[in-house]
Structure 1
C-alpha cells in the first residue's frame, strides 16, 4: 500500500460520547459504517470480549483512532474518536446524531 503524506498542523480533535447500545455486533456495524461514510482511512481493527462481561474494540485510522468500550452493568457504551482531520470528525458527528 502506497501512502501519500501531507504536512498538517499538530492538532487533535476529539469526540467523546456515551451511547445506550451495548451489543458489540450492532456497535461494530454502526461505527464502521460511520467511519466509511465520513471517509476516514481505516488501517486496522481489533477487538476483545472480556470473560465476565464487556467489550472493547478500536479502529486504527490514518487520521488517528476510534475506540469503543461497553459497560453492560450500566447499560451504556463509551465512544471516543480522535482525529487530526476536523472536517472528517465533524462529518462523523453529524452522521452519528442524524
Structure 2
C-alpha cells in the first residue's frame, strides 16, 4: 500500500456544497477510482483557511497515474471547477505533501 497526501484550495463558503457533491459521488467515478487502485480516499477541510487535505491509500503508482486520463475524471473536474482553485484543464491546483511522521 502506498500513502499519498495532497493539499487543495476550496473557495470560501462552499463547504456544504463540496461535501454534498462528494456524498453523491457518481457510481462510475467511485468504480474508476477503485479500478485504478484506490484503497481509501479521504478529504478533510481546514475551515480557517479553506484548504482541503486529501489522504489516499493506493495499490500502485502506475495505475493511479492514469486517473487524470479517464473520461469520467475529466468530467468530474469540470463539475467541480466552480468550487476550488483549478488549472487550465480544470484539474484541482494541488500540492503533494511529504510524510514526515507515522505512528
**TM-score normalised according to structure 2 size:** 0.44
The structure carrying a bigger strand percent of its residues is 1
RCO comparison, higher one (Cα < 8 Å, 6+): 2
The structure carrying a bigger helix percent of its residues is 2
